[in-house]
A and B are shown apart, each in its own frame.
Chain A
């Protein structure tokens, strides 16, 4: 292959700008290309994130002062439900599938996913599910005649969701929106499992798969196991509401606790479904910027599998206060705490990777470094909650809200940002601006800590979650005000980010094939990669094929 300079003017990204918009749109809508679908997942995830973020900001304005009347109870409850539902199902999930779609085939040296059309189907199911959910704002006849979005909380405890207590169609929209998008997610998970199992390039044994691929593979398998129980539970609820069935009808002997079991059997693994991609990203970014291979690769794989398996046996920790037997509480306390061990292994192995490296603190690495600290704090509050008697105090309080925003933002979102900065050059051919990136990082991390660190305190002082207002004088006022101010600071960060994306798309610095001096296969093709990814399917001999080429005197395959 000739080593020639490529002038940007003739790159495909540029030339497509001259094609009419309608035709571009058509290209994206009918595509079966994993890269385009991946980008669409990520883009729609970002849009949903902004929407849900704005909803969160409105809730925070309402809560800034005691007995504020910026929002009424119904509006607040709807925003709360839509914020949580959106963030979990329409931000976290598409980010997982987006990065999996985009990166996995490139990293395993494949041309596409195993079932490209099924992939498109999965994406559109996800998107239309979300659209249906949001259509409730117009289409659902609420109690007061106006349209109303669902207002039962993101885990929709029975019997609040029964026809008796939730009239109108709002709850039906919630069920259907999630049900349909889950079908899409299951399809995509099947696709990913199959792709990784069967389409790795020659030489890429399981032991040579990049850890990113490993973790997402485990994650997709986890989705197979836990998403259909949610689907089943939603179907039951649908039967209750439309056919008069009694699954969760407490008046006819049905059980409210059964719904909780079904929901959390999905719900807990779901949070690991969300966090595993974050782990995957960190496992990719930290080594590259520390200039060392990942410390303890085999044990990292083992820890991932352990997390996947244990996560299916801990769901009752969301139910410590429903009054189960002490034996059950004890067992699930043990299994929940056990998960700290494989997670700890991961943390320490990332630290081990950084130790002795030559760390380049570019923006992706900044996010991952911040993630390490924030996530440990978040995990530790998780362990505090797993201590059952303490959970009796703190369950359903703002301490829990602080815990899960710490994991979801400090853990998941930070890494999503890292991934966006890391792979943006690959996907667009242009770098994101480093200076703006640092501003984004600084403001967002500051705002995040200003918001969610103080949020632990009202929880410890007895403030329950999901309240639209509270009485003055309970010791919560000042804390809530600080929390709300923090959101404004976060918003500044987000605005820098948006500006960065928009301006860099138009005139960012050209990236070249391999801007980070990376080691996995995606950096061996162009940025953006051609539709077929590689002219020739590569062959690999180690976990870091590009290292082998860059350091023929000291290749990895001599050691692995």
Chain B
């Protein structure tokens, strides 16, 4: 928002404070991330609290496989998004499109992996959200993470479309970077989920 209106004289952006109004996207995104962190924290606490307390099977150790591919995809996407941004700042729109697309593909890869995992859990292992406490906490936590990945992908795709239609310019790097914060956050949540869910299952 802010960069787009920077050229407009006499607009809102005039009231520049010490932190600078051009920083409001960053502060806003940071605030959102704080709220999201405490949201996920509660699901993580619930998962840990109920770990091993399910009255009936299946237990995490019996059904969970370490999602190596998915994890690599998501972690890698954090790297590619950073490269894409660097390209954008350097004015290389082509590079940006390429790496941005890579990020989206990696994110989509992660989602596919999750979908496969769920398919197996539900149809072959018979674990649903209503099966036991493990199912309840597992699907909620992993599901909310996947939901965030999906939302992130939507926004990334939106930017990609804009870029392909030539609507994205190096001046938009700030906004795009803020979006990338969100993506990094989603990635960080995955690291937490990975440790809490998959490492404890082994």
A and B touch in the complex (CB under 8 A): yes
Mask of B42-83 contacts with A, CB within 8 angstroms, 1/0: 110010011001110000000000000000000000000000
Q: Is residue A189 contacting chain B, with contact meaning CB distance below 8 A?
A: yes
Q: Which of A183-229 contact B (CB under 8 A)?
A: 186, 189-191, 193-195, 197-202, 204-206, 221, 224-229
Interface-facing stretch out of B12-20, B99-107, B169-177, B181-189: B12-20
Question: Would A197 and B27 be within 8 Å (CB), given that A111-B14, A190-B32, A253-B54 are in contact?
Answer: yes
Complex contacts, B90 vs chain A, CB 8 Å? none
Nearest Cβ distance between residue A264 and chain B, in whole angstroms?
A: 13
Indicate if the CB atoms of A224 and B38 lie closer than 8 Å.
Answer: yes
Nearest Cβ distance between residue B129 and chain A, in whole angstroms?
A: 5
Docked Cα-Cα span, A480 to B8, in Å, equals 64
Other than A197-B23, A245-B140, give 15 A-B pairs with Cβ distance below 8 A: A112-B12, A114-B24, A115-B1, A190-B35, A193-B27, A202-B16, A202-B17, A204-B17, A221-B31, A225-B34, A232-B42, A233-B42, A245-B129, A245-B130, A247-B46
Q: Is residue A109 contacting chain B, with contact meaning CB distance below 8 A?
A: yes
Q: Is residue B149 contacting chain A, with contact meaning CB distance below 8 A?
A: no
Q: What is the chain B residue whose CB lies nearest that of A192?
A: B31
Complex contacts, B28 vs chain A, CB 8 Å? 114-115, 190-191, 193-194
Q: Is residue B179 contacting chain A, with contact meaning CB distance below 8 A?
A: no
Nearest Cβ distance between residue A67 and chain B, in whole angstroms?
A: 43
Q: What is the chain B residue whose CB lies nearest that of A116?
A: B12
Docked Cα-Cα span, A233 to B14, in Å, equals 41
Q: Is residue B156 contacting chain A, with contact meaning CB distance below 8 A?
A: no
Complex contacts, A115 vs chain B, CB 8 Å? 1, 24, 28
Q: Of B1, B12, B42, B137, which is within 8 A of A229 by CB? A: B42
Indicate if the CB atoms of B17 and A198 lie closer than 8 Å.
Answer: yes
Mask of A347-361 contacts with B, CB within 8 angstroms, 1/0: 000000000000000
Docked Cα-Cα span, A246 to B18, in Å, equals 49
The count of A-to-B residue pairs whose CB atoms sit within 8 angstroms is 132
Complex contacts, A140 vs chain B, CB 8 Å? none
Indicate if the CB atoms of B15 and A109 lie closer than 8 Å.
Answer: yes
Question: Chain B: how many interface residues by the 8 Å CB criterion?
Answer: 40
Q: Is residue A489 contacting chain B, with contact meaning CB distance below 8 A?
A: no
Interface-facing stretch out of A82-90, A254-262, A432-440: A254-262
* 7 tightest A-B CB contacts, nearest first: A200-B17, A244-B130, A232-B42, A228-B39, A245-B136, A190-B31, A198-B24
Indicate if the CB atoms of A224 and B35 lie closer than 8 Å.
Answer: yes
Q: Of B1, B12, B31, B137, which is within 8 A of A189 by CB? A: B31
Mask of A108-133 contacts with B, CB within 8 angstroms, 1/0: 11111011100000000000000000
Complex contacts, B40 vs chain A, CB 8 Å? 232
Indicate if the CB atoms of B15 and A236 lie closer than 8 Å.
Answer: no
Complex contacts, A206 vs chain B, CB 8 Å? 18
Docked Cα-Cα span, A231 to B38, in Å, equals 10
Q: Of A198, A221, A228, A236, which is within 8 A of B19 by CB? A: A198
Docked Cα-Cα span, A32 to B55, in Å, equals 52
Complex contacts, B20 vs chain A, CB 8 Å? 198
Docked Cα-Cα span, A137 to B63, in Å, equals 45
Indicate if the CB atoms of A243 and B15 lie closer than 8 Å.
Answer: no
14 contacts between A and B (CB under 8 A): A197-B23, A202-B17, A221-B34, A228-B42, A232-B39, A232-B43, A233-B42, A239-B129, A244-B129, A245-B129, A252-B55, A254-B50, A254-B133, A258-B49
Nearest Cβ distance between residue B40 and chain A, in whole angstroms?
A: 8
Q: Is residue A537 contacting chain B, with contact meaning CB distance below 8 A?
A: yes
Question: Would A239 and B136 be within 8 Å (CB), given that A198-B24, A225-B34, A225-B38 are in contact?
Answer: yes
Docked Cα-Cα span, A205 to B18, in Å, equals 7
Nearest Cβ distance between residue A536 and chain B, in whole angstroms?
A: 9
Complex contacts, A235 vs chain B, CB 8 Å? 140
Question: Would A199 and B21 be within 8 Å (CB), given that A112-B12, A115-B28 are in contact?
Answer: yes
Question: Would A262 and B133 be within 8 Å (CB), given that A198-B24, A201-B15 are in contact?
Answer: no
